[in-house]
Structure 1
């Protein structure tokens, strides 16, 4: 799994435009997958915004381009400083041996919410992995993208 964006990082402005990035999945010739799920997470930004004043999702919106419908669709984005057990995830799409899939995403920082820097973490989770499987089997790929959100 690779991720690319203009400038190699996400640089967002609260209330400003979304920034696009591309995730490319390249499967090898060893096995196919029936259910691979891209999972996205940002750690909580620590700044002067009180917890009671934080908007849902800390004011971030992640979207994926739905090529068939020709529209952007909201995707789950976890805001947390811990790791969610991979067994909690369901769904995903197939990826055949030797297949390549390219997905377009964009991240937006709404007008209210915290500012600061933390990487956007992306895991590719095999939701069919058996209980007790190795981390490499459950999460065949992981990447992060540097990210900063500023205020005007």
Structure 2
């Protein structure tokens, strides 16, 4: 199932982003390019951030970029972007290296991706392996392997 939810081309390594808005934009690029969501979805994440704050920063090093399906979601898909230089979504917030972007048409289809992400970030060693993945292919393989453990 994870291989239908996360495609190799949706895993990216980037040096850095300019700020948290750019982080959201960059995290969603693979999903927009694949037709899984529209620019309206990105705007929904930005609007929700203005209203609620960075609700998607779940722990140090992890932001789970998402919004509701009613605003520009065309299908269920996941993208993972790892930043060599972390970004902060608020002044007092933690550094974030891993941007997991989700577009989901319902509340069930993306659960395997959330389980794989949780499996990684519950173990500091696994999280460090993701952050230090040498390339996009290694990043993809780490997520697939951790989904299999769930």
TM-score, length-scaled by structure 2: 0.31
Larger radius of gyration: 1
Higher helix share goes to which structure?
A: 2
Q: Which has the higher contact order (CA 8 A, sep 6+)?
A: 1
Higher strand share goes to which structure?
A: 1
